[in-house]
Structures are given as C-alpha cells and as structure tokens.
Amino acid sequence: MKVVVFDFDETLGHFGQLGDFVTTLEEGFGRPIKREVLYKLLDIYPFTLRTDLFRILNLLKREMPEVSLVGYGKSINIFKQTGNPKDVVKKFKLSSFSGTHGIGHTRMATESAITTQGSHPYSTSEDECLVHNGSLSNHNNVRRSLIKDGQNFNSENDTEVAAGYISNQISKGKNLEKTLKNSLKELDGFYTFIAGTKDGFALLRDEIACKPAVVAETKDYVAVASEFQAMAHLPNVNSAKIFEPKPGVVYHW
C-alpha cells in the first residue's frame, strides 16, 4: 500500500501548489492523472483550498479509489498501518516527530478486517483522533443515525463510529469532556477511550470498566497505558502519581 500525505494549509491556493499536489499524486501512485480528472480539480480549486477540502477529497475518492484519507488538519498527524509496530514506527520515521501529545494503539483485530482502514487511530474530523480498547454493541444503530446527520464512514469498525460520534458532538458546539461524558449514555458496550484534539487529550473508561488503564502523572508529562509495564522505561516514573482511572469519569489534559 502507498501512502501520500498532503498538508492542506490555509495558505495553499496558487496554481504552483496545485501542480505540486497533482505531481505528488502521480509520483505516489505511479501513474498520470487523467486530463479530465485534472480539469475537474481545476474547476473546484478555490483561492483557499480549505473551504472546498471535502469536494477535493470526494473527487479523489471517486476517481482514484486507491486513495485513502486517514486524517486531516493543521495540528494532528495521523499515521496508521498493519504489521509489526516497530516496522510502522520506522516506516513513518515517528522518532523524528515532536509535539505536545501523542496517541498510539497496537491492537488485535477481533471485529474488523486486518487492514489500514481497520487500524487505529481513527480520525473523522479536523484535528481529532481516537483509539479504543473494547467493543460497542450498538455501533450499527449509531452509525445509521450519524450518517443521516451527515457523518461519513470508511469502514465497518465500531471505533470509527465512536470517533464519528465525538466529531458530530463537537461540531454541534460541545467540548471534548462533555462529549465523552454524554457517550456513556449513547454508546453501549465496554470500552476505554483516549481521544485527542489540537488542544489536548482525554481518557474515559465505561462505567463497568472491564478494560484496563493506568495513568502516570508528573510535573513534566502524563502517560496513559493499558498496563504499567508499557510505562516502566519513562523518566522518573517511580516518583510519578500512578493511578487507575475511575469508571465513568472523564480525565482531560
């Protein structure tokens, strides 16, 4: 599978950058863009690309079905792939990245295909992402409801439904903490959610809390994992405040 990453910045808009956009597509997928597709791109290419971003992406999805959008935004980069986690880290050179917060998830697929689309994290809106340990029992009903409300989905995965629910609520003016609290009433099942936005990240375990989570908090960092062993190598972790998140309580950093 080939991955092409675009930086859809607000300043993108002149035709030289459109040329870079098309060239990157052609080089990434090893074939030229058909002239009629290029003309369609020109027809919808605005002075500021972000305003018509979804029209661009929908055109690519329709004309080049091998193109898969895994996330977009100005602050959060989404990387996902199947295979050994060490190989994924090396492939995307994740060790060279820096930032305020990062969310990763290694999972065993139990209810979805072993594909890049079925991998975590899921991103269903600008600068948002979600990883999920658990299973939702009402995801099909929630998916149908969200589709009627304009939400798009690219997989049959229940985690994408949870991500779509969060995006839908935030688009209606609710903050991340309030959205996760509401999910306790709307999303049935057992789960631990870690959701990220450009402003921070939040953690929630359902009220039964059968999926594990542990937090290590110091003045320098906050780390969250399914078990302490994953954090044992962190600096000064033995002096950190270590605790198990309470069921049904949203923690936000």
Q: Express each pLDDT in 7-58 by its tens digit.
A: 544 444 445 566 777 777 777 777 787 777 777 766 665 544 555 566 666 6
Return the residue matching tokens 């709307």: 186
- Any domain includes 147: yes
Q: Which tokens hold the place of 76?
A: 């959060």
Please report whether residue 45 resides in a domain.
yes
Residue 2 lies in a domain: no
Say how many domains are in the chain. Answer: 2
CB-neighbour burial class of residue 172 (10 A; exposed 0-12, middle 13-18, buried 19+): exposed
Identify the sign of the CA torsion 50, 51, 54, 59. negative
Give the Cα separation of 127 and 143 in Å (integer).
Answer: 21
- Residue 168 domain-assigned (yes or no): yes
User: Does some domain include residue 229?
Assistant: no
- pLDDT of residue 60 exceeding 50, the answer is yes
pLDDT in tens, 77-129: 888 888 888 898 888 888 888 888 888 888 777 766 777 777 788 888 888 99
State residue 177's pLDDT score: 94
The CATH number linked to 185 is 3.60.20.10
Please give the average per-residue pLDDT across 193-218, as a whole number: 94
Same domain as 187, residue 131: yes
Res 12: pLDDT:
44
Q: What is the pLDDT of residue 11?
A: 44
Q: What is the mean pLDDT of residues 194-200?
A: 92
Residues 135-166: pLDDT tens digits?
999 999 999 999 999 888 888 889 999 999 99
| Residue 59, domain member (yes or no) | yes
Task: Determine the Cα–Cα distance for residues 182 and 46; give it in Å rounded to an integer.
Answer: 37
pLDDT at 18: 65
d(CA 21, CA 12): 10
Query: Is residue 7 included in any domain, yes or no?
Result: no
Q: Is residue 120 domain-shared with residue 182, that is, in the same domain?
A: yes
- Domain containing 117: what range? 85-207+246-252
